[in-house]
Amino acid sequence: MKPISDYNDYRPFIRDFYEERKLMTGLSWRGFNKMAGYANTRFLKLVCDGKSKLSSVGASRLAKLMGLSKIQTSYFLALVTYCNSPVEKKKLAALEHMQSLAKDDRIRVVGGDGYEYFKNWWNPILRELAPRVANATPSKIANMLHESVTPENVKKSLDFLVQAGFLKERRNRYVQSDKAILGSSEKIPRAIRGMHRQMARLAEKAVEAFPVTERNFSGMTVAVNRAAYEQIVNELDICRKKIAGIVSATESCDRIYRVNLQLFPLTKEIKK
């Protein structure tokens, strides 16, 4: 899904959000409206079809449901005002506010280079680590990783990250080109599945490798139905975006962590 700052109409944004959740969780319009607090189970579809409008109250409620960050919520509310207001002065003010917010919400959408980016677990780590290391030579960076990666592979990764535009090199220092990474390609999901497998193996090692003061593992085994599953997925998505907001607001970082949010079936469907 594109970053919200790429939209100039709130209806396609809502539809894209719904379509993404439908693909991931099987979310229906009925379920989406119910979660958003609408008695009319077709209301949000009517909004997306241009047959109805979202109110400011409904926009705030929907932004919370979609797990938007503070700056994304501000953009979404301004977007609703821009599209709905018949007053040209209000539309112009909303547009200027959106343009200002868009500058502070830079997000890189991974396209053709995405498969290569997600192919190795150390690429995202080096993207975060390299800008925080003075005199960032491949050997120095390799020695900072808990898992073994050769300096040669580190150099290849850094060269790729610079060539693909994920990092910029300035006098033996690296700078991130964008704040966040999103996948946007038919090949990306396959690469991300591989990344999940690699990170899951690292998580398995971390259970024994680090004391409880440096890692956090918890879990629950629960019985749910489809509606509850969709609600849990939505809450996990909100949690992930809140974590991203905390990270974005953090000025000084001294370590790179991986956050895994996992929800998967342990049994076949139980027939009534």
Q: Note whether residue 58 is domain-resident.
A: yes
Domain identity same for 142 and 85 = no
Domain identity same for 58 and 150 = no
Q: Rounded distance, CA 87 to CA 84, Å?
A: 9
Q: Note whether residue 235 is domain-resident.
A: no
Q: Note whether residue 262 is domain-resident.
A: no
Q: Note whether residue 263 is domain-resident.
A: no
> Which of 72, 105, 138 is where one domain is finished?
105
Q: Note whether residue 179 is domain-resident.
A: yes
pLDDT value of residue 76: 93
Domain identity same for 94 and 8 = yes
Q: Rounded distance, CA 109 to CA 2, Å?
A: 7
Domain identity same for 142 and 198 = yes
> Which of 75, 105, 135 is where one domain is finished?
105
**Residue 176: which domain range?**
114-229
pLDDT value of residue 173: 85
Q: Rounded distance, CA 68 to CA 75, Å?
A: 10
CATH number, domain with residue 186: 1.10.10
Task: Name residues of the chain where pLDDT drops below 70.
Answer: 1, 103-115, 178-190
> Which of 105, 132, 149 is where one domain is finished?
105
pLDDT value of residue 180: 56
Among candidate residues 175, 164, 10, the one with its CA nearest the CA of residue 81: 10
Domain identity same for 85 and 177 = no
Q: Count how many domains the chain has.
A: 2
Q: Note whether residue 32 is domain-resident.
A: yes
What confidence tens digit (pLDDT) does each residue in 8-56 have?
A: 899 999 999 999 888 877 889 999 999 999 999 999 999 999 999 999 9
pLDDT value of residue 105: 52
pLDDT value of residue 185: 43
Q: What contacts 24+ positions apart, CB below 8 Å, involve 51-59?
A: 53/84, 54/10, 54/14, 54/80, 54/84, 56/80, 56/81, 59/10
User: Around Cβ 131, how many Cβ atoms within 10 Å?
Assistant: 16
Encoded tokens for 54 = 């979202």
Domain identity same for 50 and 151 = no
pLDDT value of residue 250: 83
Encoded tokens for 151 = 């300096």
The pTM of this model reads 0.57
Domain identity same for 124 and 95 = no
